[in-house]
Amino acid sequence: MSRMNYFLLAVFWVIIVLASLFFNVINVKKSILDNVEESSRSFFQEIQSIRYWNASHGGVYVPITDSVKPNPYLIDSLRDVVTTGGLRLTKVNPAFMTRQLSEISIRDSLITYHLTSLNPLRPDNRADAWETKALKSFRNGKKEAFELIETDSRSEFRYMAPLIVEESCLKCHAHQEYKLGDIRGGISIDIQAINYLSSAKSQISSLSIIHSAILLFGLLGIYFFSRFSMKQFSIIDEKNAELEVKIIEKEESEEAINNYAQEILLSSKMLEDRAGELNITNAKLIESEKELLELNSMKDKFFSIIAHDLKNPLASFKDITCLMAENYNEFSETERLEFIELMKDSSKQIYSLLENLLQWSRSQTGKIIFDPDQIDIKMIADSTLSLLKIHSDNKKIRLINNIEKSLYAFGVANMISTVIRNLVSNAIKFTDENGEIRLKAKPEGDFVRVSIIDDGVGMKAGDMDKLFRIDVNHSTIGTGDEKGTGLGLILCKEFVEKNGGKIWVESKRGVGSTFSFTVPLKGGEEEA
């Protein structure tokens, strides 16, 4: 796969993420508009129900007070009455009641409404420019009007639906020559948009952060995988070139055999010598071909492992973020936190895979400087355990360092620290809560033997045979549902052998596991 192909893959990834962000932003804005429109429609229907109740009773009488005066626009001989007890009452028709209720709603200022008409009885009910346009559209068959109006000083949603002339309406409006079924006006509803726009802005901000994270992880994955694969392909090309050279050498050797055949007639000893040389050359060629085939097979299996381990957490991360983006408002705060926790687990798994993959790749390409020196095993173990303490505390696992002070070995400190970190992390993963993990070290001949001992779930003999192999994908689920990357133990083996030691495991199902490795011992006592 060329660099251009990886570049096109990155561009395609950017386009996909941006398209997803654009689609989700549009959905958020549409959802806000739909919710406000539906709320306005429900509010209008509620006002209509109240007005219908009033109209069905021919209006209702209420006491005359400072806030409730007789309606000068109501033509009714029985508009004002006095009870036998002397209480003065005035009739409140649907329009007057609507105006009274709207004046109360103005105090809240979040949502206001009023009657309006192109031919109002009350001048204050005359329609403004937006309401005039809406009323004219009702005459053309439109059922309602809804729009977000934004100015320099205010943003508001405006909703309006028509009032249709019914039998009860003619008592007050017959003199205006209305007929049954005519549109005599409408109810205009204004809702402040600031809260809804703030909610939309917050959701869009969350979507931007989530998509930025997805974009970054995807590009990092493509970048590191491209560097690794290009290096591996380069190695394969070099091996193929060597094979072609050897094939040419084989052809040249076969030509030489034909020449030697002429000389066989002259000297049987020379024939035997040449035949022996040919056998050696053929054996070397066969061995080289076998090595190349094994290398190609190992490469294919390794790429399959990496692709599988990288694809699963990325797919999980993508599915969760899409689910949250599309249904954000439908989830409770607890459910959102659970989704964020799942996203955190996926990102940690991706980071762990990339970190181990980068370390392994650097070790293969020779970019890790190998400069061994005298190292303090206990100091390295203490430092590594302090970094892992938060993980062990989460599972209530005790980390015990039984390594004695001033136990020195000869190696690269960073490599040995990486080995201990990976082995202790594995032990935490496969140890139940309230378990115990111990570190021990002791001299054995010319080496220091370091052991990480846990009382976890252990493993079967068949599983132990699959460890430390690059051509086998052996990654199991921990006691806390932790997922591995499959590279940790491979990296441990690379680093231990680079330092001149070896690594192995002893385990029994249900009892626990002991991972041990050796580091050369040199000059420890003299310099202690």
Question: What are the sequence ranges of the domains in the chain?
Answer: 34-192, 204-364, 369-527
Q: Beta-carbon neighbour count of residue 304 at 10 Å?
A: 12
Alpha carbons 388 and 431: distance in angstroms, whole number = 14
- Ranking 102-111, 478-487, 508-517 by mean pLDDT, the lowest is 478-487
Higher local confidence (pLDDT), 447 or 167: 447
Q: Which CATH class is domain 369-527?
A: alpha beta
> Which of 516, 496, 494, 495 lies closest to 505 in space, CA to CA?
516
Q: Which two tokens stand for residue 445?
A: 């001949």
Residue 228 has pLDDT above 90, yes or no: no
Q: Which two tokens stand for residue 223?
A: 């970048």
pLDDT number for residue 446: 93
Phi and psi torsions of 192, nearest 5°: -60, 135
- Give CATH for domain 34-192: 3.30.450
At residue 363 the predicted structure's pLDDT band, cuts being 50, 70 and 90, is low
* Mean pLDDT across the chain: 81
The β-bridge partners of 155 are 150
Strand 398-401 vs strand 436-444: parallel, antiparallel, or unpaired?
parallel
Residue 265 has pLDDT above 80, yes or no: no
- pTM above 0.75? no
- Ranking 314-328, 329-343, 397-411 by mean pLDDT, the lowest is 314-328
The answer to whether the CB of 56 falls within 8 A of the CB of 93 is: no
Q: Beta-carbon neighbour count of residue 490 at 10 Å?
A: 22
Strand 80-82 vs strand 145-150: parallel, antiparallel, or unpaired?
unpaired
Using left for φ > 0, alpha for ψ between -120 and 50, and beta otherwise, residue 58 falls in left
The winner for highest mean pLDDT among 121-125, 335-339, 440-444 is: 440-444
Residue 200 has pLDDT above 90, yes or no: no
Task: Specify the DSSP element, H or E, that contains 244.
Answer: helix 194-264
The answer to whether the CB of 519 falls within 8 A of the CB of 512 is: no
Alpha carbons 46 and 35: distance in angstroms, whole number = 17
Q: What is the mean pLDDT of residues 514-525?
A: 79
The answer to whether the CB of 416 falls within 8 A of the CB of 497 is: no
Distances (CA, A) of 359 to 164, 383, 385, 452, 488: 76, 19, 20, 22, 10
Q: What is the mean pLDDT of residues 74-81?
A: 83
How is residue 174 annotated by DSSP?
Answer: G
Q: What is the mean pLDDT of residues 426-437?
A: 91
- Cα dihedral 350, 411, 449, 457 in deg (nearest 10): 0
pLDDT number for residue 528: 35
